[in-house]
Amino acid sequence: MDVGTGDSSPGLVTKKKSLIASERDAWARAAFRLRIAEVAAADVVVLDEIGLNVDLTPRYGRSPRGQRALAKLPRNTPANTTLIGSCSLAGMGPGLLLSGGVDGATFEA
Map out the domains of the chain as residue ranges: 40-108
Pairing of strands 91-92, 46-52: unpaired
What does the pLDDT read at residue 1?
46
| Cα separations in angstroms, 29 against 32, 33, 43, 69, 95 | 5, 6, 21, 49, 30
What does the pLDDT read at residue 57?
77
Closest CA to 94 of 84, 82, 104: 84
Which residues have a Cβ under 8 Å from the Cβ of 1 and sit 6 or more positions away? Answer: 13
Distance CA 82, CA 53 (A): 9
Report the chain (109 residues): mean pLDDT per 10 consecutive residues: 56 84 91 94 92 80 91 80 92 90 83
Are residues 8 and 2 in contact, defined by beta-carbon separation less than 8 angstroms?
Answer: yes
